[in-house]
């Protein structure tokens, strides 16, 4: 029986394996390295400073003693050594043959060059307390009478300094590292908990609960921001799915109704038509109804095309006032035929970023509706004005208007207000306008009331008007995409 290898059974806790924790580890490592570098630098600089200072003193003292008269030298050496309670001063006077004359050095250090700057050497100190080997900084001077003067100083302080630095490191670095690891672990655990909560919510959404949203804690941290973005996306998806589900029923209804009529009409015609003109009448009616069904399919495909293909590639700079005037030109005779007073005004000449054909289609659709629903001798006004930073295309008509309760519904596919049941059309015009306006990141508002006012608020390109040459602005699209969120 042998135990399983330890490594295969050891599994690190989940929070240690998170990226947050790994980043914390990396940051702590980098911090420790920096602290080590800093302390090393402090030690190096301090040691160099102390050594230079000791060397300066040694050179000064040796100069002073060397310049003394030979009979005063012994006294000076003696004085120097006697005022040394810390036992760090070293001095020695040696004869020309190297024999010891005075001082606390047993022998002339062998590697100490004459008349050179102070060096680090190993010396043997002898005094009343015995014989001791020490590391010292020392300088040797050959005197005029051939004797050799050695002045030195014990530098055991330097290793002491290193030990102080080490202790400072121990007291500072280890707790700091520990603290950062704990903080990393806590952050990692917290992130993991939030991921877990989000995961539970997401699982519920996947399971079909489309009303579920990711939790936010009101902290404005990246997690909250991300949750906000995802929630915005979920709102859009929920609305889309609901509209698709609703559209399915609407399509079934609005397509089956004319097709049923076609079928019944054809059946009856086949049975009861007595003459060729009778039969032709039935067939003509059937063709009309088929055309109506086809128009619905065409409009639906068109909306799908606009909503899903996100045709930003067709975007360019559009002189909106020109589009408004062109729509006016197209519908003016139609309004006139209905004796509707049709007024087209453009107070401003803004340039907007968009697809010219689609914007034309949207405005034309709204004017089409306005003319269609206005009674004879009524009035329709198409105006382009500025309001704050936006430019607004406003279509105003004297038709029956839309009640507050119907306002949101009219942009839904196939919705036809009760007032419009007896007017031609497939009930998709406003859905189409809505899709186009959304694609551009503009806003569509329908005001309630006895007179209908529909507005499209567009962002004009900053500081641009139709008088200026048009050039492509990538920022415009980026802003619209951002605004759409």
Q: Is 298 in the site for another protein (CB under 8 A)?
A: yes
Number of residues that make up the chain:
485
Q: Is 431 in the site for another protein (CB under 8 A)?
A: no
- Quick one: which of 191, 425, 457, 477 contacts another protein (CB under 8 A)? 425
- Quick one: which of 181, 330, 383, 477 contacts another protein (CB under 8 A)? 330
Q: Is 94 in the site for another protein (CB under 8 A)?
A: no
Look up residue 114 and give its DSSP letter: B
- Quick one: which of 294, 341, 409, 481 contacts another protein (CB under 8 A)? 294
What is the per-residue binding string for another protein in 372-391, x denoting contact by CB under 8 A?
A: x-------------------
Min dist. Cβ of residue 427 to another protein (A)? 10
Q: Which residues contact 390 (CB under 8 A, 6 or more apart)?
A: 457, 458, 459, 460
- If one counts every other C-beta atom within 10 angstroms of the C-beta of residue 110, the result is 8
Q: How far apart are the first and last CA of the chain?
A: 64
Looking at residues 245 to 274 of the shown chain, list those that interact with another protein (rule: CB under 8 A). none
Q: Is 295 in the site for another protein (CB under 8 A)?
A: yes
Contact 317, 351 (CB under 8 A): yes
Q: How far apart are CA 223 and CA 237, in angstroms?
A: 21
- Quick one: which of 357, 377, 408, 468 contacts another protein (CB under 8 A)? 357
Min dist. Cβ of residue 412 to another protein (A)? 18
Q: Which CB sits closer to another protein, 135 or 285?
A: 285
Q: How far apart are CA 413 and CA 307, in angstroms?
A: 13
Q: Which CB sits closer to another protein, 74 or 364?
A: 364
Q: Which CB sits closer to another protein, 63 or 288?
A: 288
Min dist. Cβ of residue 480 to another protein (A)? 20
* 206 CB burial (10 A radius; 0-12, 13-18, 19+): exposed
Q: Is 334 in the site for another protein (CB under 8 A)?
A: yes
* Residue with tokens 């004009």, as numbered in its chain: 460
**Kind and range of the H or E run holding 158:** helix 157-206
CA 382 to chain CA centroid, nearest Å = 42
- Quick one: which of 115, 170, 337, 408 contacts another protein (CB under 8 A)? 337
Min dist. Cβ of residue 425 to another protein (A)? 5
Q: Residue 167: which of 39, 27, 33, 50 has the closest Cα?
A: 39
- If one counts every other C-beta atom within 10 angstroms of the C-beta of residue 92, the result is 26
Q: Is 417 in the site for another protein (CB under 8 A)?
A: no
Q: Which stretch binds another protein (CB under 8 A): 16-24, 213-221, 357-365, 448-456?
A: 357-365
Q: Is 325 in the site for another protein (CB under 8 A)?
A: no
Q: Which CB sits closer to another protein, 213 or 372?
A: 372
- Quick one: which of 184, 429, 441, 476 contacts another protein (CB under 8 A)? 429
Q: Which stretch binds another protein (CB under 8 A): 170-178, 268-276, 301-309, 464-472?
A: 301-309
Q: Which residues contact 154 (CB under 8 A, 6 or more apart)?
A: 87, 88, 89, 90, 125, 134, 135, 136
Q: How far apart are CA 172 and CA 34, in angstroms?
A: 13
Q: Is 88 in the site for another protein (CB under 8 A)?
A: no
* Residue with tokens 């007073």, as numbered in its chain: 341
Contact 24, 188 (CB under 8 A): yes
- Quick one: which of 371, 411, 460, 461 contacts another protein (CB under 8 A)? 371
How many residues bind another protein (CB under 8 A)? The answer is 27
Order of strands across the sheet with 100-103?
100-103, 89-94, 148-154, 130-142, 119-127
Contact 339, 380 (CB under 8 A): no
Q: How far apart are CA 421 and CA 424, in angstroms?
A: 8
* Region class of 361: left (phi > 0), else alpha (psi between -120 and 50), else beta: alpha
Q: Which CB sits closer to another protein, 263 or 311?
A: 311
Min dist. Cβ of residue 337 to another protein (A)? 6
Q: How far apart are CA 374 and CA 384, in angstroms?
A: 20
Q: Residue 374: which of 337, 347, 411, 405 has the closest Cα?
A: 337
Q: Which CB sits closer to another protein, 52 or 294?
A: 294
Q: Which stretch binds another protein (CB under 8 A): 101-109, 156-164, 366-374, 459-467?
A: 366-374
Q: Which stretch binds another protein (CB under 8 A): 128-136, 205-213, 232-240, 353-361?
A: 353-361
Min dist. Cβ of residue 287 to another protein (A)? 8
Which residues are near another protein by CB under 8 A?
A: 294-295, 298-299, 301-302, 305, 309, 311, 329-331, 333-334, 337, 357, 360-361, 364-365, 368, 371-372, 424-426, 429
């Amino acid at each position: 029986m042998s135990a399983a290898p330890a490594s295969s059974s050891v599994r690190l806790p989940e929070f240690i394996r998170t990226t947050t924790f790994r980043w914390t580890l990396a940051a702590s490592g980098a911090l420790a390295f920096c602290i080590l570098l800093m302390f090393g630098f402090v030690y190096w600089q301090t040691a160099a400073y102390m050594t230079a200072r000791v060397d300066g003193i040694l050179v000064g003292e040796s100069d002073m003693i060397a310049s003394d008269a030979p009979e005063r030298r012994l006294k000076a050496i003696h004085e120097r050594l006697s005022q040394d309670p810390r036992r760090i001063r070293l001095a020695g006077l040696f004869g020309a043959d190297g024999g010891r004359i005075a001082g606390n050095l047993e022998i002339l250090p062998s590697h100490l060059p004459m008349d050179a700057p102070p060096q680090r050497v190993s010396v043997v100190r002898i005094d009343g307390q015995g014989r001791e080997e020490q590391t010292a900084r020392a300088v040797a001077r050959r005197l005029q009478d051939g004797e050799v003067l050695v002045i030195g100083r014990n530098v055991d302080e330097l290793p002491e300094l290193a030990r102080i630095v080490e202790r400072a490191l121990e007291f500072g670095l280890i707790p700091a590292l520990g603290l950062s690891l704990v903080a990393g672990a806590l952050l990692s655990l917290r992130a993991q908990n939030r991921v877990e909560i989000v995961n539970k919510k997401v699982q519920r959404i996947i399971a079909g609960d489309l009303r579920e949203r990711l939790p936010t804690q009101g902290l404005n941290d990246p997690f909250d921001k991300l949750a906000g973005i995802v929630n915005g996306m979920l709102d859009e998806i929920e609305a889309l799915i609901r509209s698709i589900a609703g559209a399915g029923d609407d399509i079934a209804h609005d397509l089956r109704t004319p097709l049923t009529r076609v079928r019944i009409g054809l059946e009856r015609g086949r049975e009861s038509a007595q003459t060729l003109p009778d039969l032709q009448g039935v067939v003509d009616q059937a063709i009309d109804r088929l055309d109506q069904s086809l128009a619905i399919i065409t409009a639906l495909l068109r909306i799908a095309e606009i909503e899903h293909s996100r045709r930003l590639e067709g975007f360019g700079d559009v002189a909106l006032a020109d589009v408004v005037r062109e729509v006016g030109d197209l519908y003016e005779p139609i309004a006139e035929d209905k004796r509707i007073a049709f007024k087209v005004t453009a107070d401003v000449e803004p340039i907007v970023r968009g697809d010219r054909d689609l914007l034309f289609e949207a405005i034309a659709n709204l004017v089409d509706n306005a003319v269609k629903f206005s009674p004879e001798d009524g009035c329709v006004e198409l105006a382009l004005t500025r309001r704050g930073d936006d430019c607004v295309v406003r279509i105003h008509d004297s038709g029956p208007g839309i009640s507050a309760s119907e306002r949101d519904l009219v942009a839904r596919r196939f919705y036809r207000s009760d007032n419009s049941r007896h007017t031609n059309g497939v009930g998709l015009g406003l859905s189409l306008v809505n899709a186009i306006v959304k694609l551009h990141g503009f806003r569509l508002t329908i005001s309630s009331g006895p007179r209908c006012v529909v507005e499209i608020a567009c962002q004009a390109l900053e500081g641009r008007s139709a008088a200026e040459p048009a050039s492509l602005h990538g920022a415009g699209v980026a802003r619209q995409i951002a605004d759409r969120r």
